[in-house]
């Protein structure tokens, strides 16, 4: 069901307020051919009403001839900013960039953020943005999860379907996504609501078993049959199953890049207002599938690049796979139990010293 401009302007105003937008701030709205016109219109209206000096920077899309999907995360090669020094200078001069184009996994984004410019990505349909407008409760839940990850040495993930994955931690930073940008040089994504990190280089090992109802992105499809992934030395070395496994293998092989098989970011969802079922209710070209990425209690892992965390992998292939009904442990402390967040831990200041639970000892 469509959202009226009034509701979306109200949502934008809340996000911009949480992002500490002030009168007189320079705001640049970054757009391309696929930018949603209502999102653009309401973003400009809200920022202008709050007294910002608003500009729009529209750039032509690229990589369309290389990608196998129209999803903006389906091919992460060069961006419309690559080599465009004038556009980069304009964004660096901005206090806040509203990214309605999708500028992810790029050196240009890092360069802009390094100047203190804040970047907020918002490309989901207006009705999704409005339903999942961020709150301070989201912020506190995510920060509690970040505290649980700080200083930890291993994430261990199991499931009744057969997943038994070990992820040594410590080499890479922890990322908090709560939907607004309240600090200089911060990037975030509206909507979101999860915490994640990257496993130590070459350290991930074990098995991932995708079960019915898990999600493949950017395929934007629910898994309908068992797919088993063998993980050794940080890479997926085998993808076993029937037709869906074959399709997944073919997709990754199309990039002709061994780095596409690397385990990338890992973490769990915390957004209570997100739902597994929504992916089946939208046209595939209308959404990035952020409900599935952020839904409370998922285990989300990805394959592909790690340059967002300061690593060297810049493969154009990026696959996010949210999984249901997993158990997630950090240094023996269970934070997700059979797809449900351990809510007693998801409050700021409640991160306790890890204790190996009986269930963890069984799975170890």
Is 348's pLDDT higher than 80? no
Same domain for 149 and 190? Answer: yes
Give the pairing type, strands 96-99 and 26-31: parallel
Q: Which phi and psi angles does 47 have, rounded to 5°?
A: -65, -40
Its sign, for the CA torsion 79, 199, 113, 147, is: positive
* pTM listed for this prediction: 0.92
Same domain for 159 and 109? Answer: no
Same domain for 100 and 229? Answer: no
pLDDT tens-digit readout, 156-205: 999 999 999 999 999 999 999 999 999 999 999 999 999 999 999 999 99
Same domain for 91 and 226? Answer: no
Give the pairing type, strands 118-121 and 187-189: parallel
Same domain for 82 and 30? Answer: yes
Question: What span, in angstroms and rounded, lies between the C-alpha atoms of 333 and 339?
Answer: 15
- Residue 38 maps to which CATH number? 3.40.50.2300
Same domain for 239 and 279? Answer: yes
Same domain for 118 and 147? Answer: no
Same domain for 232 and 106? Answer: no
Report the domain count for the chain: 2
Say what the pLDDT of residue 69 is: 78
Is 359's pLDDT higher than 50? no
Among candidate residues 75, 99, 131, the one where a domain is terminated: 131
pLDDT tens-digit readout, 193-240: 999 999 999 999 999 999 999 999 999 999 999 999 999 999 999 999
Is 51's pLDDT higher than 70? yes
Among candidate residues 113, 131, 149, the one where a domain is terminated: 131
| Crossing angle for the helix pair 37-49 and 5-18, to the nearest 10 degrees | 60
Same domain for 245 and 118? Answer: no
Range of the domain at 162: 136-363
pLDDT tens-digit readout, 305-343: 998 888 888 899 999 999 999 999 999 999 999 999 999
Same domain for 77 and 39? Answer: yes
Decide if 61 contacts 32 (C-beta within 8 A): yes
Among candidate residues 131, 166, 181, the one where a domain is terminated: 131
pLDDT tens-digit readout, 72-131: 777 777 788 999 999 999 999 999 999 999 988 788 999 999 999 999 999 999 999 999
């Amino acid at each position: 069901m469509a959202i009226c401009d009034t509701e979306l302007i109200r949502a934008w105003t809340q996000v911009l307020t949480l992002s500490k937008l002030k009168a007189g701030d320079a705001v640049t709205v970054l757009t391309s051919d696929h930018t949603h016109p209502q999102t653009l219109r309401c973003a400009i209206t809200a920022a202008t009403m709050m007294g910002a000096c608003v500009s729009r920077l529209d750039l032509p899309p690229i990589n369309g001839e290389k990608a196998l999907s129209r999803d903006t995360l389906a091919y992460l090669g060069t961006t419309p900013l690559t080599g465009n020094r004038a556009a980069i200078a304009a964004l660096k001069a901005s206090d806040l960039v509203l990214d309605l184009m999708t500028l992810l996994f790029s050196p240009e984004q890092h360069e802009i953020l390094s100047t203190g410019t804040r970047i907020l990505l918002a490309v989901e349909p207006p009705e999704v943005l409005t339903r999942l407008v961020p709150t301070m409760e989201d912020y506190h839940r995510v920060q509690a999860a970040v505290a649980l990850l700080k200083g930890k040495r291993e994430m261990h993930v199991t499931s009744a379907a057969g997943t038994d994955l070990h992820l040594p931690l410590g080499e890479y930073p922890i990322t908090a996504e709560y939907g607004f940008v309240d600090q200089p040089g911060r990037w975030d994504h509206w909507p979101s609501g999860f915490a994640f990190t990257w496993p130590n280089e070459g350290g991930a090992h074990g098995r991932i078993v995708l079960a019915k109802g898990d999600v493949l992105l950017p395929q934007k499809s629910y898994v309908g049959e068992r797919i088993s992934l063998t993980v050794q030395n940080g890479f997926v070395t085998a993808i076993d199953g029937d037709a869906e496994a074959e399709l997944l293998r073919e997709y990754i092989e199309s990039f002709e890049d061994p780095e596409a098989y690397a385990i990338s970011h890992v973490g769990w969802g915390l957004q209570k207002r997100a739902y597994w079922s929504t992916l089946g209710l939208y046209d595939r070209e209308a959404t990035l599938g952020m409900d599935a990425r952020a839904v409370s209690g998922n285990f989300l892992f990805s394959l592909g690049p790690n340059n967002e965390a300061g690593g060297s992998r810049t493969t154009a292939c990026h696959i996010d796979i949210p999984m249901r009904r997993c158990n997630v442990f950090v240094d023996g402390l269970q934070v997700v139990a059979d797809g449900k967040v351990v809510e007693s831990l998801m409050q700021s200041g409640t991160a306790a010293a890890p204790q190996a639970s009986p269930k963890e000892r069984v799975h170890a």
